[in-house]
Amino acid sequence: MKKKIFKNNMITYALIIAFYIVMQVMITTGSISSLLQGLLVPLCMYAIAAVSLNLVVGFSGELSLGHAGFMCIGAYASAIFSRVTEDSLPDLPRFLIAILIGALVAGVFGFLIGIPVLRLRGDYLAIVTLAFGEIIKNLFNVLSLGKDNEGLHVSFNDAAVMELGEGGEKIVDGALGITGTPRDSSFTIGIILLLLTVFIVVNLVNSRTGRAITAIRDNRIAAESIGLNVTKYKLMAFTISTTLAGVAGVLYAHNLSSLTVKLFNYNTSILILVFVVLGGIGNVRGSIIAAIVLTALPELLRGMANYRMLIYALLLIVMMLFNWAPAAIHFRERIKSKFSKKQEVV
Amino acid sequence: MKMLEVKNLCISFGGLHAVDRFDLSIDKGQLYGLIGPNGAGKTTVFNLLTGVYKPDEGIVKLEGKDITGLKTTEINKAGVARTFQNIRLFKEMTVLDNVKAALHRSYRYQTLTGILRLPAYYKQEKAMDEKALELLEVFDLAGESEVLAGNMPYGKQRKLEIVRALATNPKLLLLDEPAAGMNPQETGELMETIRFVRDNFEVTILLIEHDMKLVSGICEELTVLNFGEELTHGKTTEVLNNPEVIKAYLGE
Amino acid sequence: GKKDSGDSSSSEGSETFKIGGIGPLTGPAAVYGIAVQNGADLAVKEINEAGGINGKQVEFKMEDDTHDAEKAVNAYNTLKDWGMQMLMGTVTSDPCIAVEAEAEADNMFLITPSGTAVDCIKGGNAFRLCFSDPTQGIKAAEYIGEHGVGKKIGVIYDSSSSYSKGIYENFAKEADNHDLEVVAAEAFTADSNKDFTVQLKKIKDAGADVVFLPIYYDETALILKQAKDMEFDTTFFGCDGLDGLLSVEGFDTSLAEGVMLLTPFAANAEDELTKKFVADFDAAYSQTPIQFAADGYDAIYAIKAAAEEGGITPDMSASDICDALVTSMTKIELKGLTGTISWADDGEPDKEPKAAIIEGGEYVMK
Amino acid sequence: MAMLEVKDLDVYYGVIQALKGATFEVDKGEIVALIGANGAGKTTILHTVTGLIPPKRGEIIFEGKDITKIPAHRIVERGIAHVPEGRRVFADLNVYENLKMGAYTRKDKHEIAESLESVYERFPRLKERLTQRAGTLSGGEQQMLAMGRALMSKPKMIVMDEPSMGLSPIFVNEIFKIIEDVKAAGTTVLLVEQNAKKALSIADRAYVLETGSVVMSGKADQLLNDDGIKKAYLGE
Amino acid sequence: MGFLSYLINGISLGSVYAIIALGYTMVYGIAKMLNFAHGDVIMIGAYVVLTAITGGINPLVAVLISMVVCTVLGMTIEKVAYKPLRNAASPLAVLITAIGISYLLQNIALIVFGAAPKSFPDFIKVPALKLAGGELVISGVAMVTIGACVVIVVALTFFVNRTKQGRAMKAVSEDKGAAQLMGINVNATISLTFAIGSALAAIAGVLLCAAYPSVTPYTGAMPGIKAFTAAVFGGIGSIPGAMIGGILLGVIEIFGKAYISSQVADAIVFSVLIIVLLVKPTGLFGKNIQEKV
Ligand SMILES: Nc1ncnc2c1ncn2[C@@H]1O[C@H](COP(=O)(O)OP(=O)(O)OP(=O)(O)O)[C@@H](O)[C@H]1O
Ligand SMILES: Nc1ncnc2c1ncn2[C@@H]1O[C@H](COP(=O)(O)OP(=O)(O)OP(=O)(O)O)[C@@H](O)[C@H]1O
Ligand SMILES: [Mg+2]
Ligand SMILES: [Mg+2]
């Protein structure tokens, strides 16, 4: 079993690295389409988001519908930092610090919110996380932040009220969000962050802590009876997950020159959940593959014009049925066993 | 000093006095039985002892230390482990991992050590594997260490629960109907194993069981519960011949 | 036919201009993107029938961005792969800001038909067809002040929309200069854009004599209905987002009686250009065009005018085309559906807003 | 002709085969016991008979009619009740509601009331706890409820899966008496038990199951004295 | 007077949420699934009514047609997309499929009805009630909505608690296998639940669009989420809970806007929800069932 897990993880790393190498070769030889090239960073970001959510949904067994809220926090925190220090720090160190800040702030929020919220179960937890994501969205939506010679100014009302003095510049402008964030995200950094995320999640899961987390998921009362601290480990999983969600947010914020809260609504939280479930709950590699497939799919369907999202929806349903319906699973197993039997004969 | 001392334990649900003024006292190393008709409150006593329910009244002392009202987790840390009447395994985990989860507190390393795979991780994990297999071996489950716990037959699941409880290195082990769902032959084997555990793991055992062969075969002393109250207690043979016990519980 | 449009190895020796468009074709903002697409399609068809630009045919392809910045960049890249030489888009502001940054880096010519945020045309490659948020806010305040529409202003705006919030903020700033007092400014968000009774009541209680609505027409329709139900009789004043109000299917136009709006386009204007456009549009899509359709139409004609001024040819690279168009844009004057427009160096259009008042179920130009 | 004839059942869970050509029959008015080790397939047989699992192959004939393809809820209407393994009472409903649920297929209010009374008579504990949520009953109480609930459908035949599990000795005897009562009242019983000795002592006939197939059958008292059986299942 | 009129507006907005929430709760109660497509069935219901009315059909008949269409739609969705996943290894699988259905319905509507908003005619012709000399106005639609909500709650409560079908639903929601052993046709019962839920969705769609007369392919999405929130607020699975939850949500939304800030109204609503759930983890009417160990 151990060996199998190890092998499995190595395959995941190898696939990511192979993907990276293939893409890099295509980029250097110029044989990559603009679309694909533009998709590379978002793919990494969604994969990170999915893997991190899998820690909560798959391994900790809690349904969170507010993952996008934490990405939002990471994105805003890091983007504000980058905008403020744009002129005073060199690019790379600034971005590295931005990643840390995004992760940290999202993690701190995850921790604070997790304390009360993780007492709830199942669908109640889901709705509270969803609510939390919506609150974040609403608050950032009306947040204005500017800097002038006197320092930073914050307002949750109208930017009109915020009178900026000499050398004033708006950094966050309500619904318009943050524009002109330095575009520091790159495919290479994205891949490194994805590898790091996978590394953290799979190593965590296959450790003492991870065992405690999964045990609590499987049977909370039994877990308590063998002395596991339920709150501590749930909170730990949640906090690590939100921290990594923050990292995904940082990648997003530094990939486009427009950052608004619109992306970070419950639809995105749900979309990430779709990646996790479609890829197989608790299956890290599946999460990544599902994130890639479902992010790329609407782009590949562009040729279908008006029917694009319709077909996307249909494909999603069909994939779900194929992956999850017991009847489909039996069917697949039968085919598989027939196939392997034939091989034996040969 | 007594291993376990319970005084005047009470709990009621709504109007029902599920456990009423219950006393119990068990010496170190004893194999003690708790019997009584269905719904008498035996499982509830276990739940009170392990902090699943908080008693309305009463005191629970473990080796003289008051553990009344502590959380389940803390009570386990203090040295009480249990099995459940309706099996509660970590079904999606392997047999080995079920046991390793219970070794959690005995073999420590930091979360970060685990993520970074520092040498301490490998050392402790290896030690855990060895310890877990050793425990599984006692119950003849080592061969199935890689099976998902939920996929095992009923009888083996019961045994695995005992192993898991044992892995927390308890002073007091509470077994709730360990033989339920086992056939007579399996029950016979189980009796041997329970005795072996008591002798070799320096653990005191309190068990609930309806199988009189098992009870009379291994329990040294018994307490009989009836309608939440103690009916009688004493040496096994005496209790089992008590006419009141026969009337209320054994029949014939 | 042999109109092979999927081929990406286009520019060299190519016989057609490739204009890309980006906007929301699905999702809650789809109505705006589809309108722009329809308007632009119509313009392209006319141009091609009339012999094209500089004698070359035009291909136009619109990609969906679902009103999302990231998807908009994907759409932009898809269009680049297709061989786009000029971009008409994006339709909405936030995606436009993201796409503009890409386009600027590529030196791709960009004209947004309806992206109103200031930052939409940050780069030297970018132009705007519609009014910017500040312009609309300022012009609205000016108009209300100068024409004595009212003194005490109540505002209902969408705080989750940069368009709405942008206009409102600039309006509020400018109001002082015209002796107007904003007595109540009430927000709503895209997530709760059904019930406006509270906003209306607060404004009513504040004693406003004009309600300024820097929002779109679908919410306005609800506001008018609810105002009527609570018997709040006042002047409603809106911007270009209100165009389309009268053509909402099934809308009781009597509710809109007396509503004023500052818009460069009104579907029932009497000039020949508008009449023809509305008739053609109706024939093609069996709908009355909203202002977005006019924006899309004009944007294509702006490209045509600039292209002819700059004398570009389809075999030029996108970057060369951009250089040429950027110079020629400031030289042209477009007589479009949305007014007579010329462009400044910064990409902003110079045109006069028209004020209209709804009377008897019709826009009446003032 | 037998009341229930089961012929050549093959049942799979996914790719795992749980029954391999299981064949047996139950005559009207009999108690027939199925015994076998953990995982032999006893529960699977009962599930297949009452329609919860479709067999891959084989036939189930009840009162001369083929019920193999009939869905579970229709089989209840034909007169087979099932006391499932692990009780499966409706935890959120109270005791009374659970019992009423058992009479779901019946119409006559008066007769239902009669059945209720006779269940109360057999299980006085249930009568005391009519408004308690079934989920909070003790294990033994739940077993009584499951049994009472099955009787509420007034079945022609009742199949029971380990009804004595978790019951106190006095109550185990009680349960076996009740089973004999049920038989005496004219209901046929198919009984699965780990407590083979008790089961054989009240059964007319029995089948021994090993890894999904019947390996032995006969009169209950004969099996009770069979050396092989004694060693393997009676713990002697 | 302000307070009262806000309260009435809140209740009437809340009644719409409540009716949607009832559908959610019904389906949740049985299938234990969050039917994220529920809001979109509402949207379809609204379009059907609109099409029928503009086609000259009597509004009442139009509502009936819409209920039939939605019922069939709901049952079909259940059969095709949810039933195959009923025994899936994770309950989340069917949740995700519901999301797929939601996308599907939205995009079908987009293609069939177009993206442009359509206005609803004033077809509920109940005159407004004017109190306190016209200071306090209760619109006809609001009265109809509140009335409908009360009637539906009473009828559903009766149905679930007093009828055989209702009891069958409870049994199925707890243990499908055991329910079958009682002679309950599980498939039919689940189908019936979806039928009822979808018929309620049609009514909700009509009332939603009567109160807020505009429909687009995305009309159902946000009310769907709000109603889901309301259902949880009241204790998901509970019928009176859904009603109270819906109404409270409406009132809080309106009061939040009126007395705190219209800019952060959404945040206020959701904060109240979180606080309530922290105090009462299973919602206002949810049963806090302790697991028996
Ligand atoms: N959470 C609860 N709420 C209400 N009543 C309860 C609860 N837990 C237990 N009871 C009641 O308390 C009594 C004792 O239950 P308990 O489970 O302790 O019995 P037991 O002695 O273990 O019986 P058995 O041998 O049948 O398992 C029973 O009547 C049961 O119905
Ligand atoms: N849902 C399931 N999925 C896969 N395998 C199963 C399932 N249920 C039972 N099995 C397997 O089928 C076989 C027969 O199981 P069954 O439950 O019928 O045995 P049993 O004789 O009732 O045993 P017990 O005495 O433990 O109740 C066993 O090997 C079991 O592991
Ligand atoms: Mg018990
Ligand atoms: Mg069994």
How far apart are alpha carbons C99 and C73 in whole angstroms? 5
How far apart are alpha carbons E184 and E165 in whole angstroms? 9
Burial of residue B143 (number of CB atoms within 10 Å: 0-12, 13-18, 19+) = exposed
B74-95 pLDDT, tens per residue?
999 999 999 999 899 999 999 9
D41 CB near ligand 2 (under 6 Å): yes
Cβ proximity of B19 and B48 under 8 Å = yes
Chain D, residues 62-121, CB within 8 A of chain B, namely 86
Cβ proximity of D83 and D159 under 8 Å = yes
Provide the mean pLDDT of chain B: 92
E strand or H helix that includes residue A245: helix A230-253
Best residue in A36, A164, A256 to probe C by mutation, most C CBs within 10 Å? A256
Q: Which of C323-337, D133-147, D172-186, E268-282 has the highest mean pLDDT?
A: C323-337
> What's the pTM value of the predicted model, to 2 decimals?
0.92
Nearest CB to A38 within list C74, C122, C164: C74
Query: Which is it for strands D188-192 and D31-36: parallel, antiparallel or unpaired?
Result: parallel
Task: Give C172-202 as a DSSP string.
Answer: HHHHGGGT-EEEEEEEE-GGG-S--HHHHHH
Residue D140 has pLDDT above 60, yes or no: yes
Portion of chain B with pLDDT greater than 90, in percent: 82
Question: Could you tell me which of D71, A63, A318 has the C-alpha nearest to residue E84?
Answer: A318
Portion of chain C with pLDDT greater than 70, in percent: 96
- Region D86-98: what's the mean pLDDT? 90
How far apart are alpha carbons E200 and E21 in whole angstroms? 9
CA C75 to each of CA A185, A294, C113, E220: distance values in angstroms, whole numbers, following the listed order:
19, 16, 17, 27
- Region E29-39: what's the mean pLDDT? 87
Q: At C2, is the pLDDT very low, low, confident or very high (cuts 50, 70, 90)?
A: very low
Burial of residue C1 (number of CB atoms within 10 Å: 0-12, 13-18, 19+) = exposed
Residues in chain A where the model's pLDDT stays below 70: 1, 157-167, 341-346
Dihedral of alpha carbons D134, D135, D141, D143, sign: positive
- Region C15-34: what's the mean pLDDT? 92
Query: Which is it for strands B172-176 and B204-208: parallel, antiparallel or unpaired?
Result: parallel
Helix (H, G, I), strand (E, B) or coil at A144: strand
Q: Which CATH number applies to A2-300: 1.10.155, 1.10.10, 1.25.10, 1.10.3470?
A: 1.10.3470
Chain E residues whose C-beta is within 8 A of a chain C C-beta are 2, 5-6, 9, 13, 50, 54, 107, 110, 114-122, 128, 134, 137, 139, 208, 211-214, 216-218, 221-223, 253-254, 257-258, 261-263, 265-266
B177 touches chain D (CB under 8 A): yes
How far apart are alpha carbons A169 and A336 in whole angstroms? 63
Measured by CA distance, the residue closest to atom 22 of ligand 1 is B43
C189 touches chain E (CB under 8 A): yes
- Asked if residue E289 belongs to a domain, the reply is no
C116-141 pLDDT, tens per residue?
999 899 889 999 999 999 999 999 99
- Asked if residue E151 belongs to a domain, the reply is yes
pLDDT at A346: 43
Residue D202 CA to ligand 3 center (angstroms) comes to 27
Cβ proximity of D208 and D217 under 8 Å = yes
Chain B, residues 20-49, CB within 8 A of chain E, namely 43, 47
D15 CB near ligand 2 (under 6 Å): no
Bridge partners (DSSP) of residue C154 are: C184, C211
Bridge partners (DSSP) of residue C153 are: C182, C210
Query: Which is it for strands D57-62 and D31-36: parallel, antiparallel or unpaired?
Result: unpaired
Measured by CA distance, the residue closest to atom 14 of ligand 1 is B41
Q: At C10, is the pLDDT very low, low, confident or very high (cuts 50, 70, 90)?
A: very low
Q: Where are the beta strands (DSSP E) in A183-315?
A: 258-259
Bridge partners (DSSP) of residue A179 are: A258
pLDDT at A153: 81
pLDDT at A332: 85
The tokens 């009891």 sit on which residue? E167
Lowest pLDDT segment from A68-72, C62-66, D1-5? D1-5
Question: Could you tell me which of A242, A186, A256 has the C-alpha nearest to residue A72?
Answer: A242
Those residues whose beta carbon sits under 5 angstroms from the ion ligand 3 are B 43, 85; D 139
Residue D40 CA to ligand 2 center (angstroms) comes to 7
Chains C and E touch (3+ CB pairs under 8 A): yes
Residue B246: phi, psi to the nearest 5?
Answer: -65, -40
Number of B–E residue contacts, CB under 8 Å: 4
pLDDT at A149: 77
- Which amino acid, one-letter code, is at C27? G
How far apart are alpha carbons C37 and C89 in whole angstroms? 10
Ligand 1 binding pocket (C-beta < 6 A) is B 13, 16, 18, 36, 38-44, 85; D 136-141, 166; E 290, 292
Residue E50 CB contacts under 8 Å (≥ 6 apart), including other chains: C250, E118, E120, E209, E215
Measured by CA distance, the residue closest to atom 17 of ligand 2 is D43
What are the structural domain ranges in chain B?
A: 1-79+170-252, 89-169
Alpha-helical regions (H) of chain B: 42-49, 72-78, 95-102, 111-116, 119-138, 154-167, 184-200, 212-218, 236-241, 243-245
In testing the pocket of ligand 2, which one of D6, D13, D38, D87 has its CB within 8 Å of the most ligand atoms?
A: D13
The tokens 């486009």 sit on which residue? A256
CA C274 to each of CA C128, C216, C285, C340: distance values in angstroms, whole numbers, following the listed order:
20, 21, 16, 13
Token pair of B16 as six digits: 């029902």
CATH number of B1-79+170-252: 3.40.50.300
Cβ proximity of A145 and A158 under 8 Å = no
D41-73 pLDDT, tens per residue?
899 999 999 999 999 999 999 999 999 999 999
Bridge partners (DSSP) of residue A178 are: A259
How far apart are alpha carbons A226 and C280 in whole angstroms? 77
Residue E52 has pLDDT above 80, yes or no: yes
Q: Greatest CA separation found in chain D? A: 51
Provide the mean pLDDT of chain D: 90
The tokens 């028996």 sit on which residue? E292
Residue A223 CB contacts under 8 Å (≥ 6 apart), including other chains: A212, A215, A216, A230, B90, B101
Portion of chain E with pLDDT greater than 70, in percent: 98
pLDDT at A162: 59
Residue D207 CA to ligand 4 center (angstroms) comes to 15
Residue E157 has pLDDT above 80, yes or no: yes
HSE-up (13 A, CA, CB side) for residue C257: 6
ipTM of model over 0.95: no
Residue B8 has pLDDT above 60, yes or no: yes
Residue D154 has pLDDT above 50, yes or no: yes
Residue C315 has pLDDT above 70, yes or no: yes
D44 CB near ligand 2 (under 6 Å): yes
Residue E50 CA to ligand 4 center (angstroms) comes to 57
* Total domains in the fold of chain E: 1
In testing the pocket of ligand 2, which one of D10, D12, D17, D42 has its CB within 8 Å of the most ligand atoms?
A: D42
What are the structural domain ranges in chain A?
A: 2-300
Nearest-5° Cα angle at A215, A214 to A221: 135
Helix (H, G, I), strand (E, B) or coil at A61: coil
CATH of the domain at E186: 1.10.3470
- Region E218-225: what's the mean pLDDT? 89
Cβ proximity of B82 and B166 under 8 Å = no
Q: Which of A116-130, D148-162, E262-276 has the highest mean pLDDT?
A: D148-162
Ligand 2 atom nearest residue D44's Cα: 18
Q: At E134, is the pLDDT very low, low, confident or very high (cuts 50, 70, 90)?
A: low
pLDDT at B9: 95
How far apart are alpha carbons C61 and C49 in whole angstroms? 17
